[in-house]
Structures are given as C-alpha cells and as structure tokens.
Amino acid sequence: MTFPLFDLAGKRALVTGSSQGIGLALAQGLAQHGASVVLNGRDTAKLETAVQGIRNAGFEADASVFDVTDPAAVGPAIDAIEQDTGPIDILINNAGMQFRTPLEDFPIDRWKQLLETNISSAFYVGQAVARHMIARRNGKIINIASVQSELARPGIAPYTATKGAIKNLTRGMCADWAQHGLQVNAIAPGYFKTPLNQALVDNPEFSAWLEKRTPAARWGNVEELIGAAIFLSGKASSFVNGHTLYVDGGITTCL
C-alpha cells in the first residue's frame, strides 16, 4: 500500500551536514520513503561511510563534498549536482554547530564561525538551490531551526541568535519564493541525543533538568524527526509555507 501524500519516489533530496546525527537520520528517512538522497559534508571518508550505509540498506544515495560556509564553493557544487546527478527537489539545510561558554567570555572567532555555519550556510545553499527550483516552479526547502528559535538558556546566546535567524530566514524565503511554487518551512528539534549534544546527554544534572522541564520527560531520538521531514517534503504540505514545526516533546509549551 502506498500513501501518495507522503510518497517521495522520483524525488531527489540534498541534506547538508548529513554524515552523522540529525542530518544522517533525515537522509535515511527520506530514502526509506522513496527519495534519492545526496549527502553533504566536508569529511570525505565519513561521508562515504554514511552513503554506503544507505546503499547497503537498498536505497539510492550519493555524496557531495563541499563546504557550505564557502559561498565560492556552494554555487558550483549545486550546479554540479543538478547537472551530473539530477535536479534537487528537496533541500534540507541541516549543517550546524554549537559552542558553549558564558556570553561575556564568548570568543569572537567562535561567534563568526557560528554565524557562518548555522545561518549563512542556509542562505548560501538555499539561494543556490532555489535558483534551479524557481526555474522549474517547484521545490521544497526545509531549514533546521531549534527550540532555541524561541527559548534561551545560559551559555549559548550566539547559538540562540542563529536559530532565531533561521526561523525568520524561513519566513523571508517563503515571502520571496512561494510565488514561484516553492514551499519553505523549518523543523525545530528540541533536545535530541546527537553527537552535538553528547556532553549534555552524559551530564546527569542536565538530563535530570531536561526531563523535568520537558512534558514528555525525556530526550528525543533522532528517528522521531523523520515524520516531520517526510510531511514537509511531500505533497501533504503543498499549502504549508513559512512555518516552523516544533518537534520538542512539548518543551516550548511550558514556561
């Protein structure tokens, strides 16, 4: 039995920062629902391992090694995918990083790195991909936001700033590109067990705080983000635009 509203057969998805964690889980999920996936990262060996894992499961996957924070590299890389692999129907802007320290001590170089990785990359890749989608008058762009698009906590103010920017960039992309047939939305994960969060997962005090703070009373597992990605990638979301979908166990509902 097939479900056309959630069927991604014949679609190609590019997922940035997808050699591990949330990006890899989303790429695997899209592949399982019929999409051909293109994984992106900077570590060739790590990326090839991830691609091979998807292929070994019987799905179609390719690698595209380029630095999403380098605007000079992004355009040619996207053009190469479009020409050599095929049209990009779905883009998931997932590349991101975190650095934790009190704001008064936050290094300027880390601030700049966070901006480039978490927000500028979504602009660079989104713009390059959208130019092709606009010509076809069809396309799905999903930006990965965060509960920190709405909330804040000590030690991550710059990260919070970048994720707030992602939410509004998503709205801006919608305002410009919906008229050309594109749907641009965001997924805002709560606290998930990922390599980015491993130090927090391993901290009993933080985990206890999180379980008390979150109505679902637990960490999320990356597989629980796949459903949201499938919805926003398929026909089911054809009139959903500029929206940020929180997948957070309810943490944003509580003060």
Is 254 within a domain? no
Domain limits at 100? 4-249
User: What residues are labeled active site?
Assistant: 159
Residue type, 58: G
Say how many domains are in the chain. 1
Residue 145's domain is classified under what CATH number? 3.40.50.720
Task: Determine the Cα–Cα distance for residues 25 and 103; give it in Å rounded to an integer.
Answer: 31
**Mean pLDDT, residues 63-73:** 98
Instruction: Map residue 132 onto helix, strand or coil.
Output: helix
The pTM for the full model equals 0.96
At 43-61, the pLDDT tens digits run: 999 999 999 999 999 999 9
Residue 150 pLDDT greater than 70, yes or no:
yes
Where helices occur in the chain by DSSP H, the ranges are 21-32, 44-56, 71-80, 108-115, 121-136, 157-177, 198-201, 204-213, 226-233
**Mean pLDDT value across the chain:** 96
- Residue 41: name the closest of 77, 65, 24 by CA: 65
pLDDT band, residue 9 (cuts 50/70/90)? very high
**pLDDT surpasses 70 at 249:** yes
**Given pLDDT bands bounded at 50, 70 and 90, which one contains residue 108?**
very high
Q: Is residue 255 part of a domain?
A: no
Q: Which of 172, 106, 131, 143 is nearest to 232 (CA)?
A: 143
Mean pLDDT (whole number) for 162-180? 98
Bridge partners, residue 92, by sequence: 15, 142
Sign of CA dihedral 253, 117, 95, 154: negative
- Which tokens hold the place of 82? 């479009």
pLDDT score for 255: 67
What pLDDT is recorded for position 1?
61
Examine the pLDDT at 66 and tell me if it is beyond 70.
yes
Percent of the chain at pLDDT > 90 equals: 95
- Residue 195 inside a domain? The answer is yes
